[in-house]
Amino acid sequence: QILEEADFKGEDFNLFQVAGQKCLEDGYAAQLLEVIQNEKNKVIVKNMGWNLVSPLVRCIFTYKQEDDKREHCLKILDQLAQLCNPKELFLGLLEQIEQTSGEQVCQIVLLLLQPLQTVLLKLQHKKAYSVGLSLAVIMNQLAPLPVPYTKQQIQEDKLGLCRCCHAVVDFTKPFVNEVVKNTEKSSEYNDTELKEELLKFCVKSLEYPLLTAQLEQLEGIEEHPFRHFATEIIDILWDIRELIPLVFLHRKVRSLDWENREFADIERKNSADSLACLSYLMFVQHFGIDRFPVVFSPSYLLQCNMTHIEALLKRTEESVLSKGLDLFESCLLRVEDNSLLHQYLEFRDFINVPQDLVKVMTLCPMEHLRKKSLSILQLFIDKFNAEGKYTLFRCLLKTSNHSGVEGYIIKNIKDQIHLSLTNMCDNVWFTGHHLISLLDLVLLLPEGAETDLLQNSDRIMASLNLLRYLVIKDCESDNQTGVWTTLAKIKQNFLKPLHVGLNMSKAHYEAEIKNKKENRREAHSSNTVCSVTVSGEKMPAMTTEMQLQVLHSALFTFDLIESVLARVEELIETKVKAGMDENR
């Protein structure tokens, strides 16, 4: 008590720490509180008190919630926040948060947020940097924790993440208010360090936990913790005047100049995910939409959001993928049918997004997302004008590499041709020489007669149905579609190799069936199995009976293709003959 600050030595600090720790461990928290509250010890506590943070935190978690000793420990922590050197205590508190891992993270954060806020408000130097460092450390510690997704998980909040999100937002409020006050004082206050640190926190929060969080209203939960957190983050962005710049100008948050390219790429990706999540919050969940300027056309909003949609559709998690699909659907529903010009397809995103959508349709293991992506692809097609549809069809036929998708596009082409032939208006894109160019992509076998007909059956059936429709609907004398002009080419590139391919395929599968039946007779049991491996994973074993069933199913598909092919050739022959009779 009699020493001045300058006279304290290293052993004094050690002695104070050991004595304080001993008091806490032996249950003398009440007496230690009296020592700290004693005015005569003010200088000692100011300089040495921060050393008690670590033993204090350990003791707090040792005692039960209702224990008086725990209450005394909490009061000591509060006193330290008021009396200690802010810089030293700040580092001590941050160190405690940083050293914690696993299930205790949220408990430590919830315990130390209030004293940490008190200390930061007292800091005179490097305040913005210290606030930013605190928020970064807290968010990095929370990031490995799984985000509760189901209603039950959210209600249980087993690890305390929901409560932590609420507390962290409250922690930032005095600093947000400081930025707001300074902005109101001076219109030139645009880019302070504190504002930048708060912006970084918001961007990080959008990436975690909001990007993977369940944000739909859940019955039985009055205040959804993540919806509340999202609202607060939007409010902070609005208060610091960064909401609209982030949504529209894709304002880049000042980032570190990483020498390591890999770190720079990770940061860029995380930033893209955050901005995508912000768009989802605004345009799908309508957080902050009342502050949104209603002067932009739906097509412009779609254009702005395509980058975000692309970022979300590249992810594989259900919670993120569904956000991408919802955002895409929401933007498309605002746009009128047949209104998007073909020039939009000159933007890279307008080509990449439908390709990503095709990957979801064909590769996503979740059926409801596959079905939704298919309906959104149709919605996307419907929004383009005739030339836009034509360009999009060409692109998807060349890039999808999936028979089912190609079959779906060919069906869409047939629908557009039907509209062109039945409407009064003349649609040049799905008749005449433009259509002939498109038919060159449709009415052909990718590898000629050696094409895997079973693998490409959807595409082949759709192509045959389209050709049958053209032959029935378009008279040779009118030839609006141009199909009769290019008939020789269609026969050479499509019908002839299809005949050869069908004969080869049927002969091969019939031989396989014969072999299986002979092998079955020779085998001791009809339950002989064969193993099938797909992508390195062994599939359930197939009995001979199951193999025969698959082979017969393939033959049925070939018969179906052959019957439609025969019908098409019969129609062509009938029409050609009728045309020749008319010319006589």
Torsion of Cα atoms, 452 then 453 then 457 then 462, to 10° = 110
CA atoms within 13 A on the CB side of 474: 25
Distance CA 29, CA 67 (A): 12
Comparing 456 with 248, the larger pLDDT belongs to 456
Full-prediction pTM beyond 0.75? Answer: yes
Q: How far apart are CA 389 and CA 469, in angstroms?
A: 20
Res 535: pLDDT: 44
- Segment 443-466, tens digit of pLDDT: 999 898 999 999 999 999 999 999
Neighbours of 371 (CB within 10 A): 12
Q: What is the mean pLDDT of residues 131-148?
A: 96
Euclidean distance between CA atoms 448 and 138, whole angstroms? 61
> What is the per-residue pLDDT for 359?
95
Whether pLDDT at 147 is above 70: yes
Instruction: Determine the pLDDT at residue 547.
Output: 79
Q: Is 262 exposed, middle or buried (0-12, 13-18, 19+ CB in 10 A)?
A: exposed
Burial of 560 (C-beta count, 10 Å sphere; 0-12/13-18/19+): middle
Is the pLDDT reported for residue 7 higher than 60? no
pLDDT confidence band for 1 (50 / 70 / 90): very low
The identity of residue 249, as a single letter, is L
Q: How many CB atoms lie within 10 A of CB 150?
A: 10
Q: Is the pLDDT of residue 247 over 90?
A: no
Q: Residue 46: pLDDT band by 50, 70, 90 thresholds?
A: confident
Q: Cα-flanking dihedrals φ and ψ of residue 384, to 5°?
A: -85, 155
Res. 233 pLDDT band, cuts 50 70 90 = very high
**Average pLDDT of span 502-506:** 92
Q: Print the SS3 string covering 383-437.
A: CECHHHHHHHHHHHHHHCCCHHHHHHHHHHHHHHHHHHHHCCCCCHHHCHHHHHH
CB atoms within 10 A of CB 562: 15
pLDDT > 90 fraction of the chain, expressed in percent and rounded: 61
Q: What integer is the mean pLDDT of 153-173?
A: 95
pLDDT of the residue at 165: 96
| Digit-coded pLDDT (tens) for 59-112 | 888 877 777 888 888 998 899 889 888 999 999 999 999 999 888 999 999 999
Query: Is the pLDDT at 513 greater than 50, yes or no?
Result: yes
Query: Does 426 have pLDDT greater than 70?
Result: no
Mean residue pLDDT across the chain:
87
**In which band, very low, low, confident or very high, does the pLDDT at 230 lie, cut at 50, 70 and 90?**
very high
| Better pLDDT: 49 or 234 | 234
Could you report the per-residue pLDDT of 280-297, keeping only the tens digit for each? Answer: 999 999 999 998 888 899
Segment 8-29 shows an average pLDDT of 64
Q: Which two tokens stand for residue 288?
A: 């902050």
- What backbone phi and psi angles, to 5 degrees, belong to 14? -60, -45
Q: Supply the pLDDT for residue 256.
A: 47
Answer whether residue 183 shows pLDDT above 60: yes
DSSP class per residue in 311-339: HHHT---HHHHHHHHHHHHHHHHTSPTT-
**321: Cβ contacts below 8 Å, ≥ 6 apart:** 312, 313, 315, 360, 364, 366, 369
For 270-279, write each residue's pLDDT tens digit.
Answer: 789 999 999 9
pLDDT tens digits along 385-410 = 999 999 999 999 999 999 999 999 99
- State pLDDT tens for residues 482-500: 999 999 999 999 999 999 9
Residue pair 468/567 in contact (Cβ under 8 Å)? The answer is yes
pLDDT of residue 499: 94
